[in-house]
Amino acid sequence: MSLLAETVTVLLNGLQQGAIYVLVAIGLSIILGTLKFVNFAHGALYLIGTYAGLLITLKITPTGGKLADWGYTTLGLGWGFLPALLIVPILVFVVGLAMERFVARPFYDRPDTDQILLTFGLAIVVQEVFKILFGGQSYNFARPGWASGQVGLPIVGTFPEWRLYIIGITATVVVLVYGLIEYTDFGLVVRAGTRDAEMVELLGIKLSRPYLMVFGVGAALAGVAGVVGGPLYAVNPNIGTEVLVPSFLVVVIGGVGSISGAVLGGILIGETLAVMVAIAPQWSQVGIYVLAAIVLLARPQGLLGAEEVAP
Amino acid sequence: MSDEPTETPDATDETGSVVERTQRELPSWERIRESELFVVAATTLAVAIFPWLFARAPVVSGVLQGYQDLATLILIWGIFAMGFNLLLGYTGLLSFGHAAFWGGAAYAAGVFSAQVSSSPILIILAGTSFAALSAWILGFISLRRGGIYFAILTLAFGQMAFYMALSPLAWITGGENGFTGVELGKLFGVFQLRYPVPGLDWLVGTWKYVLVGGVAVLCVAAANRILHSPYGMVFRAIRENDQRAEFVGLNVWRYKLMAFIISGTFAGVAGSLFTIYSAYVPLSSFYWTTSGEVVIMAVLGGVGSLFGPILGAAIYLYVENIVSGVQQLTLPFTGPNEYVTLVQEPVVLMDGFGAYWHLILGLVFVAVVVLFPRGIWGLLMDFGSAVRKLGGGR
Amino acid sequence: MALLETHNLTKSFGGLVAVDDVNLEIEEGESISVIGPNGAGKSTLINLVTRMLDATEGDIEFDGDSILKHEPHEVVQKGVSRSFQTASIFPELTVEENAQIAALAAEHGSFRFNFLRHRNNYGEVDRLARRTLDAVGLLGQRDVTAEDLPYGDKRRLELGIALASEPSLLLMDEPTAGMSPEETADTVELIEEVKEQLDLTILLVEHDMEVVFNVSDRIVVLNRGAVIAEGPPEEVQGNPEVQEAYLGGMDA
């Protein structure tokens, strides 16, 4: 393979890797920006999305956990991937609404630390429930047949089709959410609320409904990430927390509350990972943290984050 | 009214006329409890009888099913959680990156033991120094952004330490296999750590426990002193209102950094002891779940007090190591293996109970965060004072 | 030489100019009040002087040195203390501890490596704290948890915290906001008292005209960020431009 072809392949891989982080990070970032709420349970939403996607797409045999003990030999609907891609975001959206209403909202007035502790505890509980039901081992989330092949591309030759789908689906979803935030009344209220919630409330606009929606949309994005990301890795109860940490880095790098920041940050992290894997695999994971540290020292508010109003 | 609390005499001169003195008087029990000597003496006593009570005492140890090594482990994690709480409970900063200091110290201690000296005391010093230095660097970066970012940044840079140990530094750390070359010499060149203490082995067991217990007492004394130094007050001021603290002229940033370094140092002491305890350093000591565990311990036990987190460590480790092995949850006093058997046939409440241990801890943790911010220690204190009131005391 | 001077001090938030080219001079021992309609930039001015906000343009000199590059705690250490509009105290600590924290900063400077030295060894901190509490009349309540104080006493404590920093210049941001008439009268008396006792220079931002005329030697009137009048109380009172600004402010 020529150097050019190799480079483009690496960059495409980075884009695909970044896409998952972008989807998770947008939710984290807009929830953090508008609601000032740090959601350590955001990874749990990804986890729910992946398992739900797996169970809608395929029929599986539980190989561990209580469900197997209780005698379930087959689980899942086996409807295929596209139904999962439609149903899961709606499902996780509803989970997100419930989370805002019953978990986040009672804690808006509590110190940040308590919010983090609460969502951290919740993340553990969700993870443990999945572990107990399905066992700690990994399940294989097979890619749908129509997308499991290789596709011919100019320059690079062949490229796994699924990875292109991920990039495409992510791009579509991001454009939709961007449009929602930038060009609708809902988005206007959300953006104004990000800047000065008190002022918006003074103007007589109740923020509780937009806040609920923000949480729901953020959750749904994590759900999408779970479905499209599921077939890339083995599915086990730890994937939620594993995706959470890099996604936090994306938020830190891109800047809080900014969708374009999350996209930029996600692509940067994805590309850093892919390039490092290609040239110095030992350092690949460390690289993204170094990147975050550099951004933080040079520009504490993130690449596209707004200047802080008050400390 | 001769037992006025410790006050500087000249202050009394200035103010004695204004304040009704009776208002200042604390009940004598509380005053004793506050004194430094009492705290250290009580800790020493508790540390000394703990392994006996837990692992060897009649009835009690049978009910608890404790064992010597677990007692040692509880003290080690207790030190970790207590130091962590200086940051979380007193300064109000939540770190998810303390695995970096626990793990960093554990590896540094291990490498030091293999390369430089196998003296346990020097191993502890080496590991602790490494942790303090790491805390300074990591704190410097993580405190760049205040508030909610702190938890995120400490989590992120803690994970960076994990990945460093996993592959780029695998030639030192042993990568996934952990560090296996720990060398342990004699304590003060005289006592083999694994040997029983002559004449006192029924009480404290081995020299290893004596070492860990001694360090634990020192740590409690140090932490107690810090809380009664100007730092204790400044930390609480920062937790309550860091803007105001800055605007009375305190360098809040540096005090926060100091809180971080101090808590990282305690984590380092604990991590070094862990290397001595297990003669092995697993890679997982760097993983963020280790940070998560110490968070749970501190919160569960109670962030508002010095001893709460130690209790939290005990509860967590007890559930992890003993409750998780319980196959069937039965009603007390039913079944053949109880100390007092009322019914021969065990009344089974739940099968495969042990598997739920982590879920149960998670649920209890959430309950504590929502309902009892002062943790289990706080509940016990409230209970204690309620009982004393009922008993007619003050 | 004046104790505090601002030169062409300007602060803008995006397009909005909150403080516009302000030149102030406060002599040692003087009491100055800054008045003006809502949104005139009074609080922003205090926030600039105490370095809570970065100035967009201009300079601030305290005691002859520019403090433009100082951290807030450094400004306090130089002798500029402030009280906040809301009672900004340490709610879960006792009244005495609230004062001790400020006294600690005054006696020890902004930072010290003394984490292994017992607090009983710091008599001078306790003395300063008690003296200050005595001055604001809270010594009797020193063991009360601060959040349990009635509102008026919380404001008093807030003032006490500011005083325990041993300032030479005290900035007060609406010290009587939210107070009953009696509490307001008490506070005015208190300010007069501590000013005499502690030899303070005072910059007061206030809405309540009665307070302003009682306390100040000189009044500065801000409107839309700019100084529109300056002078002794009687003079400013009669200034048509000032009346215009206030009435205009009320219309809007």
Report angle CA A140, A142, A144 to the nearest 5 degrees: 165
In the stretch 215-244 of chain B, residues with CB closer than 8 A to chain C read 222, 225-226, 228-234, 236-237, 240-241, 243-244
How many domains does the structure of chain C reveal?
2
- Rounded Cα distance between A307 and C77, Å, is 28
Q: Å from B374 to nearest chain A CA?
A: 12
A202 lies within 8 A of chain C by CB: no
- Rounded Cα distance between A88 and A220, Å, is 8
Among candidate residues B256, B288, B271, B215, the one with its CA nearest the CA of residue B101:
B271
C84 located within any domain: no
- Tell me if B163 sits within 8 A of A280, measured CB to CB: no
Q: Å from C229 to nearest chain B CA?
A: 30
Which structural domain range is residue B194 located in? 36-286
- Tell me if A226 sits within 8 A of A20, measured CB to CB: no
Exposed, middle or buried by CB within 10 Å (0-12, 13-18, 19+), for C46?
buried
| ipTM value | 0.90
3-class SS shares of chain C: helix, strand, coil, % to 5? 40, 25, 35
Q: Per-residue pLDDT tens for A37-55?
A: 889 999 999 999 999 999 9
Do C65 and C96 lie in one domain? The reply is: no
User: Which residues are paired to C204 by β-bridges?
Assistant: C33, C172
Which residue, C129, C147, C166, sits at the end of a domain? C166
Q: Which of A128, A283, A288, A308 to mutate to test the interface with B (most CBs of B within 10 A)?
A: A128
Q: Å from A305 to nearest chain C CA?
A: 16
Q: Cα torsion at B203, B206, B210, B213 (round to 10°)?
A: -80
Highest mean pLDDT among A65-74, A296-305, C168-177: C168-177
Residue of C nearest to A310 (CA): C53
Confidence of residue B148 (pLDDT cuts 50, 70, 90): confident
Residue of A nearest to B157 (CA): A289
Q: Is B194 helix (H, G, I), strand (E, B) or coil?
A: coil
CATH number, position B114 = 1.10.3470
Exposed, middle or buried by CB within 10 Å (0-12, 13-18, 19+), for B384?
exposed
Among candidate residues C132, C192, C137, C133, the one with its CA nearest the CA of residue C167:
C132
C52 lies within 8 A of chain A by CB: yes
Report angle CA B281, B286, B290 to the nearest 5 degrees: 105
Among A76-90, A235-249, C142-156, C226-240, name the one with the lowest average pLDDT: C226-240
Binary contact (C73, B250; C-beta < 8 A): yes
- Tell me if B362 sits within 8 A of B356, measured CB to CB: no
pLDDT reported for residue B337: 63
Whether residue C23 is predicted with pLDDT greater than 80 in this model: the reply is: yes
Side-chain-side CA neighbours of C137 within 13 Å: the count stands at 13
Q: Per-residue pLDDT tens for B156-176?
A: 889 999 999 998 888 888 888
**Average pLDDT of the segment spanning A243-247:** 92
All chains having 3 or more CB pairs closer than 8 angstroms to chain C: A, B
User: Which residues are paired to C6 by β-bridges?
Assistant: C24, C60
Sheet with C218-223: list strands edge to edge. Answer: C80-83, C169-173, C201-205, C31-35, C218-223, C226-231
DSSP B217-281: HHHHHHHHHHHTSHHHHHHHHHHHHHHHHHTTT--HHHHHHHHHHHHHHHHHHHHHHHHHHHSSB
C252 located within any domain: yes
pLDDT reported for residue C247: 59
DSSP A148-169: SSEEEETTTEEEEHHHHHHHHH
Of B8, B229, B244, nearest to C89 by CB-CB distance is B244
Residue type, B264: G
Whether residue C246 is predicted with pLDDT greater than 80 in this model: the reply is: no
Q: Which residue has the tokens 């995120």?
A: B152
Do C57 and C181 lie in one domain? The reply is: yes
pLDDT reported for residue C4: 92
How many domains does the structure of chain B reveal?
1
Binary contact (A38, B94; C-beta < 8 A): no
Task: Show residues of chain B in contact with C106, CB under 8 Å.
Answer: 248-249
Binary contact (A121, B168; C-beta < 8 A): no
- Mean pLDDT score of chain C: 87
Which residue, C142, C166, C190, sits at the end of a domain? C166
Residue type, B63: V
Task: Show residues of chain A in contact with B366, CB under 8 Å.
Answer: 118, 121-122, 125
Do C155 and C171 lie in one domain? The reply is: no
Q: Which residue has the tokens 């803008």?
A: C12
Q: Å from A110 to nearest chain C CA?
A: 15
Binary contact (B159, A300; C-beta < 8 A): no
Q: Cα torsion at C52, C56, C57, C60 (round to 10°)?
A: 0
B251 lies within 8 A of chain C by CB: yes
Task: Show residues of chain B in contact with A39, CB under 8 Å.
Answer: none
- Rounded Cα distance between C191 and C212, Å, is 11
- Rounded Cα distance between A192 and C152, Å, is 35
Binary contact (C119, B18; C-beta < 8 A): no
Task: Show residues of chain A in contact with B167, CB under 8 Å.
Answer: 281-283, 285
All chains having 3 or more CB pairs closer than 8 angstroms to chain B: A, C
Q: Using the CB atoms, write b or e for A226-242: b if 16+ within 10 Å.
A: bbbbbbbeebbbbbbbe
- Residue B2's contacts (CB-CB under 8 Å, 6 or more residues apart) are none
Q: Per-residue pLDDT tens for A126-166?
A: 999 999 999 888 888 888 777 777 887 777 778 888 888 88
- Rounded Cα distance between A50 and A239, Å, is 9
Q: Per-residue pLDDT tens for B2-53?
A: 444 444 444 444 444 344 444 445 556 666 777 888 899 999 898 888 888 8
Among candidate residues A149, A139, A159, the one with its CA nearest the CA of residue A50:
A139
Among candidate residues C132, C124, C87, the one with its CA nearest the CA of residue C108:
C124
Residue type, A17: Q
Give the end-to-end CA distance of chain C in Å, rounded to a whole number.
40
What is the CATH number that goes with domain A3-298?
1.10.3470
Binary contact (C90, B228; C-beta < 8 A): no
pLDDT reported for residue B29: 66
Binary contact (B166, A285; C-beta < 8 A): yes
In the stretch 253-272 of chain B, residues with CB closer than 8 A to chain C read 254-255, 258, 262
Tokens of A17: 């890797």
DSSP C179-229: --HHHHHHHHHHHHHHHHHHT-EEEEE-S-HHHHHHH-SEEEEEETTEEEE
pTM, to two decimals: 0.89
Cα-based distances in Å from C184 to B204, C178, C224: 65, 9, 27
- Rounded Cα distance between C71 and C67, Å, is 8
Task: Show residues of chain A in contact with C52, CB under 8 Å.
Answer: 310-311
- Tell me if C167 sits within 8 A of C107, measured CB to CB: no
C55 located within any domain: yes
Interstrand relation of C4-13 and C169-173 (parallel, antiparallel or unpaired): unpaired
Q: Is B36 helix (H, G, I), strand (E, B) or coil?
A: helix
A296 lies within 8 A of chain B by CB: yes
pLDDT reported for residue A135: 86
Q: Please count the residue pairs, one from chain A and one from chain C, whose beta carbons lie less than 8 angstroms apart.
A: 3
- Rounded Cα distance between C19 and C38, Å, is 13
Sheet with C16-26: list strands edge to edge. Answer: C16-26, C4-13, C57-62, C65-66
Q: Å from B221 to nearest chain A CA?
A: 27
Q: Å from B294 to nearest chain A CA?
A: 12
CATH number, position C41 = 3.40.50.300
User: Which residues are paired to B1 by β-bridges?
Assistant: none
Q: Å from A175 to nearest chain C CA?
A: 29
pLDDT reported for residue A307: 55
- Rounded Cα distance between C195 and C176, Å, is 16
Whether residue A247 is predicted with pLDDT greater than 90 in this model: the reply is: yes
**Domain residue spans of chain A:** 3-298
Residue of A nearest to B374 (CA): A114
B59 located within any domain: yes
Of B94, B141, B365, nearest to A116 by CB-CB distance is B94
Which structural domain range is residue C15 located in? 1-79+167-252
Binary contact (A293, B155; C-beta < 8 A): no
Task: Show residues of chain C in contact with A311, CB under 8 Å.
Answer: 52
Side-chain-side CA neighbours of A130 within 13 Å: the count stands at 25
B208 located within any domain: yes
Tokens of A198: 């008190």
Residue of A nearest to C47 (CA): A310
CA–centroid distance for B75 within its chain:
7
Interstrand relation of C31-35 and C201-205 (parallel, antiparallel or unpaired): parallel
A310 lies within 8 A of chain C by CB: yes
Q: Per-residue pLDDT tens for B263-299?
A: 999 999 999 999 999 989 999 999 989 999 999 999 9
- Rounded Cα distance between C121 and C118, Å, is 6
Q: Per-residue pLDDT tens for A168-199?
A: 999 999 999 999 888 888 888 877 777 777 77
C190 located within any domain: yes
Which residue, C133, C166, C199, sits at the end of a domain? C166
**Average pLDDT of the segment spanning C163-167:** 90
Ranges of beta strands (E only) in A31-185 are 150-153, 157-160
Q: Å from A112 to nearest chain B CA?
A: 6
pLDDT > 70: percent of chain B: 88
Whether residue A23 is predicted with pLDDT greater than 90 in this model: the reply is: yes
Q: Nearest 5°: phi and psi at A228?
A: -75, -30
- Rounded Cα distance between C70 and C80, Å, is 12
Task: Show residues of chain B in contact with A237, CB under 8 Å.
Answer: none
Ranges of beta strands (E only) in A161-249 are none
B256 dihedral zone (left: phi>0; alpha: psi -120 to 50; beta): alpha
All chains having 3 or more CB pairs closer than 8 angstroms to chain A: B, C
Tokens of B305: 């007090």
Of B151, B163, B356, nearest to A116 by CB-CB distance is B151
Task: Show residues of chain B in contact with C139, CB under 8 Å.
Answer: 15, 18-19
Do C45 and C160 lie in one domain? The reply is: no
